[in-house]
Amino acid sequence: MADRALRVLMLAPTPYFSDRGCHVRIYEEAKALTKLGHDVCIVTYHLGRDMPGVRVVRIPQIPWYQKLDAGPSWHKPYLDLLLLLKSYSTARAFRPHLIHAHLHEGTLLGYVIKRIFRRPLLFDYQGSLSGESLSHGFFRAGSLLHRLFIFMERAIDRCADAIITSSSQGRKELIRDWGIASERVTAVIDGVDTNIFKPCSCSEARLELGIDQDAQVVVYLGLLNRYQGLDMLLDAIPRVRSEISGVHFLLMGFPDEEYRLRASEMGIDDMITFTGRVPYNRASFFLSAGDIAVSPKLARTEANGKLFNYMACGLPTVVFDSEVNREILGDDGIYATFGSVSSLADCIVATLNDKVLLSEIGQRARRKAAEEHSWDSRASMLTRIYRGLLSI
C-alpha cells in the first residue's frame, strides 16, 4: 500500500461547485490528489457544476431546493439522507481505500459508510458546526437548539479516525475546546494554484467592469454576509471616501441583494461595483482590477482561503488581526484592530497612500504564495496522512 495509488471517496454535503471558499478547498484537494495519481470520487448534492479533472457523483434532482450560499437549512436532513444513499451505492462500485469527509454532516454520513465497508474515515474540518450556525443566526446562543448542536458536534468530532483542519487555529480549537487528542488532528491549511491565480491586466479588467482607470480600487471576493465582515466594510467605506477621492470598491460574490440595497440607502452605491457570483476561472482576472484587497472576516478560527488567492494575484491585503490571518499572511499582511470599523478604514487609507508599500508587499505576497502555499505540497501531506490511516 506504501506506493500504490489510492481510491478516495470524498463526501461533500454542499452544492458543489458554487465558487466559494469551502468548494475551492474540496476541488483543489481533489485535483492535486488526482495529479499525484490517486483516484478521487466526490459525492455531493444535485446543485453546483462539475469542475474539470475530478469525478463527481450527485444525488437526484430536488427541483424546489436551489440554495447555493453557505449556512444551515431545514432542508439539509433529507438532502443528507439522499447523500448517504448515494454514497453507499457509490462505495459499493468504487471500493474506496478510505473516506475523506468534508464538514460535520459529511463526517456523520462517512461514519455510517465507514462501519459498513470497514474503511478509515478522515474528517476535513473547516470550522465549528455550532459556531457557524450561530453566526448565521440559525438559533440563539444558549437556546435548546444551540445546546443540541454542541452535543452533536462533540459526537461527530469523535467519529473520525483522524481530523485535518484548514488552519492551525482550528486545530488548537479542537484540542482545547472540544477535547480531541492532539495526535488525531493535523493542520493542512489551504493553498492556491498559482497557475490559475496570477496577476492579469489591470486595465483590461477595469475596462470590462466599467471602473475608472485612474481610480484607487479595493477588491473583495467571497460570500457576502455579516460574519465575513461585509456590514463592517460598508460602514468603513464613507470613512475611506472622506480621506481619498476617487476610491472605488469592487465587491465580488453572493448573495448581494441586501448589500446593494444598503449601499444605496447609505449613498455610497456610486463608488461600489457589485458583480454577483464570479466564476472560479475568472476570479484572478477581476481581482487584478484592484490596488489592494480586503477581508474583514469575523470568525477567528475558520480558514480564510480567499487570502491565498489575493496573495497569488500580488495584492496587498487588509485584514483584521487574528491568528488565522497571521498564519497565512505573516509579515505581509496589513492588520486592523479586530472588529474595529475605524481601524479597518484607517488601514485601507494608509495602504492606498503608500505606493512603495503597495509594490513591495504585492511582490512578496505573490512570491510567498508560489513558494509556500502550493496545492502540490498540500496533496503530498494528505497522502502521508492517508497512508498512516491505512496502516492502523
DSSP string, 293-312: EEE----SSS--THHHHHHH
Q: Residue 116 contacts by C-beta under 8 Å, 6 or more apart in sequence?
A: 88, 91
Question: What single-letter amino acid sits at 96?
Answer: P
**86 pLDDT more than 70:** yes
Q: Is the peptide bond before 17 cis (omega within 30 degrees of 0)?
A: yes
Question: What single-letter amino acid sits at 204?
Answer: E
Tell me how far CA of residue 75 lies from CA of 18, 65, 307, in angstroms. 18, 8, 31
* Average pLDDT rounded to a whole number, residues 192-210: 96
Q: Are strands 162-165 and 185-187 parallel, antiparallel or unpaired?
A: parallel
Residue 115's SS3 state is helix
**340 pLDDT more than 60:** yes
Q: DSSP readout, 183-239?
A: GGEEE----B-TTTS----HHHHHHHHT--TTSEEEEEES--SGGGTHHHHHHHHHH
* Average pLDDT rounded to a whole number, residues 125-150: 73
Arithmetic mean of pLDDT over the chain? 92
- Separation of alpha carbons 186 and 170, rounded Å: 10
Structure confidence at residue 138 (pLDDT): 65
List the one residue out of 378, 380, 387, 389 whose CA is nearest residue 167: 378
With beta carbons less than 8 A apart as the criterion, state whether 293 and 321 touch. no
Torsion angle in degrees (nearest 10) through CA of 9, 164, 16, 78:
80
Structure confidence at residue 137 (pLDDT): 63
- Separation of alpha carbons 363 and 367, rounded Å: 6
Structure confidence at residue 264 (pLDDT): 97
132-146 in b/e form (b: 16+ CB < 10 A) is: bbbbbebbeeeeeeb
**pLDDT tens for residues 289-304?**
999 999 999 987 778 9
Ranking 12-21, 126-135, 236-245 by mean pLDDT, the lowest is 126-135
Q: Are strands 216-221 and 185-187 parallel, antiparallel or unpaired?
A: unpaired
Checking phi first, is residue 369 left (phi over 0); if not, alpha (psi -120 to 50) or beta?
Answer: alpha
- Separation of alpha carbons 214 and 129, rounded Å: 44
Structure confidence at residue 150 (pLDDT): 84
**308 pLDDT more than 60:** yes
Structure confidence at residue 4 (pLDDT): 82
**141 pLDDT more than 80:** no
* HSE-up (13 A, CA, CB side) for residue 227: 17
The confidence band for 140, taking pLDDT boundaries of 50, 70 and 90, is: confident
Name the packing angle between helices 103-117 and 144-157 (round to 10°): 40
The confidence band for 146, taking pLDDT boundaries of 50, 70 and 90, is: confident
List the one residue out of 381, 193, 176 whose CA is nearest residue 284: 193
* Average pLDDT rounded to a whole number, residues 315-337: 95
The count of residues in the chain is 392
**209 pLDDT more than 70:** yes
**pTM, entire model:** 0.85
End-to-end CA distance of the chain: 12
Tell me how far CA of residue 98 lies from CA of 6, 23, 244, in angstroms. 8, 20, 54
Cell of 228: 465575513
* Average pLDDT rounded to a whole number, residues 186-190: 94
Question: What single-letter amino acid sits at 131?
Answer: G
Q: DSSP readout, 60-107?
A: PP-TT----SSS--TTHHHHHHHHHHHHHHHHHHH--SEEEEEHHHHH
